[in-house]
A and B are shown apart, each in its own frame.
Chain A
Amino acid sequence: MRKLSFLLPWVFMLILTACGDRAELEDLGHVVVLGVDKAEDHQVAVTFQIANPQVGSTSQASAENEPPSDILTITAPDIVSAKELAQSVASRKLNFTHLNTMIISEELARTKQFHHVIASSTGDREMRREIHIIISKEKASEFIHANKPKLETRPHKYYAFMQDRWRDIGFVPDATINRYFERLSGELFLAIYATTTRSPKHEKDEDQYLAGQVPQQGGDPVQVMGSAVFKFGQMIGTLTGEETRIALFLRPKAVNRSVVASYPDPRKKDFRVTVRLLRVSPTDVKINVHKDPTEVKVRVPLKVQVIQIPSLVDYVLDLKYQEQLKRAIKESLESKANALVKKTQEQFASEPFKWYLFARKEFWTMKDYREYQWEKKYTEAKVQIEFMPSIESFGKQFKPPQIHEQ
């Protein structure tokens, strides 16, 4: 009897528990990229890019004649039912656990349907909240089909590398489903903006581009630049790469710690100075909700590493010049930031800078904060932005070689 009572829980545990979840690894079809397009009748066309484990992963068991991934599109009411329906085509059980990138067409993103698709998809246990959201200018299925990176055979690796780059350079925000869910009550959510189409234009500032506008020859078909702006779960506009960078600077904390950008040379108007901006401490945001209009004071401490001075002006030894350069950078950044703030106030009527966190702090209860209507107050707020750059270094070689004419 004692033995039996000892064994019974174990037997029940084995019979009744998660055994049904078990699946052998090779039975699963790992969807690594998911594309969602608008279809008729409130349906969505879901594109699955399924990784082929036998291509590019190991030399032990490679299949030479198979493509690295299989792409198929299914139209269904939602993602989960599309997944089920796709099973009529796919030989393996589709699995989202390694899904890390979701491409959504701008067409769908600009409708109310977007939120319904995203919000309901997380009901699926396999959907991760750290899935990156990319808004494509064209249809998501076209984007996925066109994306054939030259250096990466396996699609998941391409996106994994790209996500690391985005974090470094800050041309695009680090947008995940989780962050999207955090910003649904009026705050702006920035999603990654990308395209495989091209509409090149030339800008003097190297980062004032949107995806597709970067002058490019050769290379991969996908351009990722700028961000798609969402408010109340619907896309309402775009920010260029530079605006995205500024927006990230104005946030209290940002994932990207340094960016390289060029600023007008204060001594020679035709030249620009390329610098690396480092964030050393969080951006300081002070909001006075008691004043009308609301006062917002933002101070952004920055460290500047001067990398290139094409004008060859001696900023290194001349402290006066240095002061001028610092002021030039500061003014350039501030004017851009002010323009961005103005744009968000007028065009989007909300802010993507996470300043709501500071406004919310000023209230005792959530109810008070909601009644205050921060987004509305923000559109009229007096925003004072101060960048505080301090020059840290002048690159590896202080003094560029000079040409000595006789």
Chain B
Amino acid sequence: MPHDKGWRKSRAKTADNLMTEDQPFSFRLQTNADLLKEIFYYPTNLALKVRNLYIPLLDREGMVFYWEDSVDTQTIEAHIVGPLLQTKEIAMDSGDIATLLTKHVLTAASSKKISFIQEAIDELINGNTVLFTEGYAHALSISTTSFEGRTISLPTVENAVKGPKEAFIESASVNRSLIRKHVREHDLICELITVGERAPKQVSMMYLHSIADSELIEGVKKRIMDIDTDTIMNLSMLEQHLEERPYSLFPSILATERPDRAASFMYEGHIVLIMDNSPLALIVPVTFWALFQTGEDWYLRWAYGNFIRLIRLISVFVALFTPSLYIAAVTFHVEMIPPDLMLAIAATRERVPFPTLVEVLIMEVSFEILREAGIRIPSVIGPTIGILGALILGQAAVQANIVSPILVVIVAITGLSSFAIPEISFNFGIRILRFLMLFVAFFTGFFGIGLLSTFLVAYMVSLKSFGVPFLSPMAPFQPSAKDLLYRPILRDRLLRPFYASPQDQVRQKKTERKSSR
């Protein structure tokens, strides 16, 4: 791709006119050292650390390079420098220096031989230690990575009352480990895919080989490899590169911070993507149903799980429709409101100077401002927002005759319901659609609400997430575990989703009820 080459060229210029990325090492230790120092702007930038040493075993000078703050110096000390200095002789002598050192001297967990400058740069940036020796046109990269990060903590968004309480953190290896803890299978595969040209990042693609559909795996892998950009900071941005319809209000990829949820999706043939610096896992493909389900639906017993699922389903509708139903009823369909309520609304509306739409917009926008402010406000002055919010959305607004009292109730129930939608993307989608719905209701009443709803359903049916229809297995209908609006009892969850590998569709055989005796 033309623009691609362009920036590579310019980058090469900025670093060093001579340097190209596949330039091999020199036999001379000093040449290599100078080159690396120049690339890392040594000594302006003190991040690159160099340690000269004499290796008695080889009877040569050597140099150890590492990048400060990304390595564990203890490891370098104990497993690289120490052994190199102390080992005087060994029983057998094999040819290659790298093999020799790896086999007999170094006690670090892993190391590999590298031959090009670009490789050395990548290794150093990722926290590995590079060892050069005089008269040897290769180097040895020894893994000593240790970035600082926080420890595993509780989920902040996807809370669960009953269920595991670990959440992903910003380290990919920790996140992978969390998943592996849940999925102890020999065919749990973790493929590393590199994305980004300037600062390549690794995406871990995890799936169960026997369950996930191989076509889907290839598709996702291709989609990730096709991403053509300089760098991808984290999963949230990868998500936007991956999705098919960037303008869509409905998400086609699910992000979760719960390892147990990621694991359970894996058992249904989904693919989990993990990256460094993202306390999340992306799950592809995803259907509409996953957006308002939580892991807890299955952790709780049948009745309780269905109850909370029903409540969440209701709240989706309440959050989407309540303000528009109010507008439609008040401006077009007065006959639908019970007379007592109608008169009460009319009485309070009499002193409000705005049309209903303006009144609703004032309240809804205030609520959205309050919500956004609540996220952005520094936590030190956090409590003020409660007071201000209560003033805007409460009695004060009513007493100032800006809104009628029933609107406070409507905005409150709408806001509350939107908080009950667990998936953040879906949550945003519903909140934006609510405003669209509002305008349509104001212009055409229930007729418009009906039309827009029809349009939305039609749109959702047409959506696909990595080839899987958004509303499947309901429409188009497919045999499934029936885990859609309603969840069956665990014993009846017989099938995996149809997009899982066809060889492994059956989750369990129908079992007879076991007698208690």
Complex CA distance for A13 and B451, rounded to whole angstroms: 10
- Contact pick for B347, options A19, A62, A100, CB 8 Å: A62
Instruction: State whether B339 touches A160 (Cβ < 8 A).
Output: yes
Contacting residue for A97 out of B335, B343, B347, B445, CB 8 A: B335
Apart from A23-B334, A53-B343, A128-B335: 6 A-B pairs, beta carbons within 8 A: A22-B442, A24-B349, A51-B343, A53-B350, A58-B405, A100-B339
Docked complex: A114-167 residues within 8 A CB-CB of B: 126, 128, 154, 156-157, 160
Residue of chain B at shortest CB distance from A51: B343
Residues from 373 to 416 in B contacting A, C-beta threshold 8 Å: 398, 405
* 22 A-B contact pairs sorted by A residue (CB < 8 Å): A17-B447, A18-B444, A18-B445, A19-B443, A23-B334, A25-B330, A25-B342, A25-B346, A25-B349, A53-B342, A53-B346, A53-B350, A57-B340, A58-B347, A58-B405, A60-B344, A60-B398, A61-B351, A97-B334, A97-B335, A100-B339, A154-B343
- Which chain A residues lie closer than 8 Å to B330 at the CB level? 24-25
Q: Is B242 an interface residue (CB 8 A)?
A: no
Contact of A25 among B334, B340, B442, B443 (CB under 8 A): B334
Is A26's beta carbon under 8 Å from chain B?
Answer: yes
Contact of A57 among B331, B344, B440, B448 (CB under 8 A): B344
- C-alpha gap A25/B350 in the complex (Å): 8
**Pick from B331, B332, B347: contact of A54, CB under 8 Å:** B347
- Interface residues in A5-64 (C-beta closer than 8 Å to B): 13-14, 17-19, 21-26, 28, 30, 32, 51, 53-54, 57-58, 60-62
Q: Which residues of chain B have C-beta atoms less than 8 A from A197's C-beta? A: none
Chain A residues, Cβ within 8 Å of B444: 13-14, 17-19
CA–CA, A26 and B442, complex, Å:
16
Is residue A342 within 8 Å, beta carbon to beta carbon, of the partner chain? Answer: no
Which one of A13, A23, A126, A157 has the greatest number of beta carbons of chain B within 10 Å? Answer: A13
Interface residues of A in 290-348 (CB under 8 A from B): none
Is B175 on the interface with A (CB-CB < 8 A)? no
Closest 8 CB pairs of A and B: A97-B335, A53-B346, A53-B347, A57-B343, A53-B343, A26-B349, A58-B344, A57-B344
Residues of B within 8 A of A58 (CB): 343-344, 347-348, 405
Residue A390 CB within 8 A of the other chain: no
B501–chain A nearest beta-carbon distance, Å = 38
Contact of B29 with A by CB under 8 A: no
The residue that A17 contacts in the complex, of B344, B345, B443, with Cβ under 8 A, is: B443
The answer to whether B135 has its CB under 8 Å from any CB of chain A is: no
Residues in B with CB closer than 8 Å to A18 are 332, 444-445, 447
Chain A residues with CB under 8 A of B348 = 58, 60-61
Cα A28 to Cα B346 with chains together (Å): 8
Interface residues of A (CB under 8 A from B): 13-14, 17-19, 21-26, 28, 30, 32, 51, 53-54, 57-58, 60-62, 95, 97-98, 100, 126, 128, 154, 156-157, 160
A32 partner residues in chain B, CB cutoff 8 A = 339
What is the size category of the interface that chain B forms with chain A?
20 to 34
Given A17-B443, A23-B331, A25-B342, decide whether A54 and B451 contact each other with a Cβ distance below 8 A.
no
Residue of A nearest to B439 (CB): A14
State whether the Cβ of B479 lies closer than 8 Å to any Cβ in chain A: no
CA distance A157 to B342 in the complex (A): 12
Distance in angstroms from B159 CB to nearest chain A CB is: 38
Given the known interface contacts A17-B444, A17-B448, A53-B347, the answer about A157 and B340 at a Cβ–Cβ threshold of 8 Å is yes
Cβ contacts under 8 Å, B340 to chain A: 57, 157
Task: State the CA gap A285–B440 with chains docked (Å).
Answer: 53
Q: Do B343 and A26 have beta carbons less than 8 Å apart?
A: no
- Among residues of A, the one whose C-beta sits closest to the C-beta of B327 is A22
Bound: A252/B126 CA distance, A:
88
Contacts of A19 in B (CB 8 A): 443-444
Q: Are B356 and A24 in contact (CB under 8 A)?
A: yes
Q: Please pick, from B343, B344, B356, B451, the residue contacting A30 in the complex, using a CB distance under 8 A.
A: B343
How far is B401's CA from A61's CA once the two chains are assembled, in angstroms? 10
